[in-house]
Amino acid sequence: MACGDEETLPKAVLAYSHSWLPAQVDGVAVRMMAHVKAMVARGVKVTVVTPDFVLPADAAAGSKQAPQLDAIEGVEHLTVRSQLTPIYRKNMCSEFSIKNLRTFVQIIRRTKPDLVHGTTEAAMQVLATACMICGVPLVISMHTDVAAIAASDKHFSNLGSGCIGRLHAKAGVFFTYWGYRNWAIAGATYFCVSRQARAIMDTAGVRSTRVADGLWGPMVDREIFRIDIPADKVEEERQRLSFGIEDAFLMVYVGRVTAEKDVGFLVKALQRAPRRCILALVGPGSLVQELAQMHGPQHRLHCEGTFVGREQVALALRAADCCVSASTMETIGFLAMEAISCGTPMLAANAQGFAEHLSHGVNSRLFTPKDEESFDRELETLMTTSRTGCWTREHLRESMATASLEACTVRVTRAYKSAWLGQYLPLRYFLTTFLFALQWFFSCFIS
């Protein structure tokens, strides 16, 4: 980092992430954990707060122990009570409660951070209120398009996929956008991951003055995801994932094996693909139990359904002939950044983050979302593309140079510098308190 950028670094940061490995496996966890490590390496004192990922009913019954979350050297990691997200009940967030509000206030007052950096989640009003009470700037990084998830996942609502469920999902999206404005009232500054995430702020009606300049952008740890992984390890992994089939064309998907990630589309596409194509699904998820029955060379599907570490992910991506995803809800698409940094081309849906950060015909082939013919055509093209010119591993990796941790740290510290510490007038206190109470009621009602 340049000398001028070092001067923008805060001395202490409290980082709240609603996702953390291995409890929740997604791009938010990957990004926030990498960012925390980068800040610590630059001498910033970082305190991390996450949910404990144990539901209150389980904790009361003693039926489930808190998962062992990955530790980062030199970082104090604290947890708050958890609940299922009020609408999208496949994930957890911090519990919307007075107890968690008091906990956040106590942590902020004890650690005395220059600012708080939180990720968008259902109970962010709790953290926003705590920051207002303590007079500390809050930066919220905008990661997830809730509307896109609601549109693509028929099980988004816990009330079913019928009329009531659809109304429930629409209400959830409405109140999510409503929440974004509420957090701005509490004095939060938004830092968007991508242009698509910034568009979400416009849709939600958040004033541009509440959004930091610049974007966090693509991010990948290029020391883990690299070309020069030992050849013997790469070959061993390739043989394992492809069941030792000679002349296999190995497609690897890494991430949550769930409906909203359109994994079902990939499995159906595999059935139409040439016989030498193998699809390896790396990661856990709600579809694993069903797809595990197809695991084996006869179906050309590798699905173990277990969580693996980052080094193992890099090994799988380096061993693949291409990385594949049909998801249409990626604000960035970490999988693509990691695969290409390993010198492996991407076959992805031409939507959201993939469309924004990948170059069709240069480091990827992009197909029309949910279009079977388009997917089949792009797969055939990729299979016959010579790995020369811009398709060499070296050129593919170079196309992700701006996604390095170094470049991302520069961008986020600039956003920190622009964080706004609002004038906490009586009216603002009243509105924030009122909105906290109203959202607490809404959270209790739909839970």
CATH numbers and ranges of domains, the chain = 3-219+406-446 (3.40.50.2000), 231-402 (3.40.50.2000)
| Residue 117, number of CB atoms within 10 A of its CB | 26
Q: What is the pLDDT along the chain (447 residues), one digit of tens a residue?
A: 333 444 578 999 999 999 998 888 788 898 999 999 999 999 999 999 999 999 877 766 676 778 889 999 999 999 999 998 877 777 889 998 999 999 999 999 999 999 999 999 888 999 999 998 999 999 999 887 777 777 767 777 777 778 888 887 888 788 888 889 888 888 899 999 888 888 889 999 999 889 998 999 888 888 999 999 999 999 999 999 999 999 999 999 998 898 889 999 999 999 999 999 999 999 998 899 999 999 999 999 999 888 888 899 999 999 999 999 999 888 778 889 999 999 999 999 999 889 988 999 999 999 999 999 999 999 999 999 999 999 999 999 999 888 888 889 999 999 998 886 655 667 676 777 777 777 777 666 555
Q: CA 364 from chain center: how many Å?
A: 21
Judge if pTM exceeds 0.85: no
213 Rama class: left (phi>0) / alpha (psi -120 to 50) / beta: beta
C-alpha atoms less than 13 angstroms from C-alpha of 220 in its C-beta half-sphere: 29
Of 314, 336, 333, 19, the C-alpha closest to 193 is 333
Element (H, E) at 166: helix 163-185
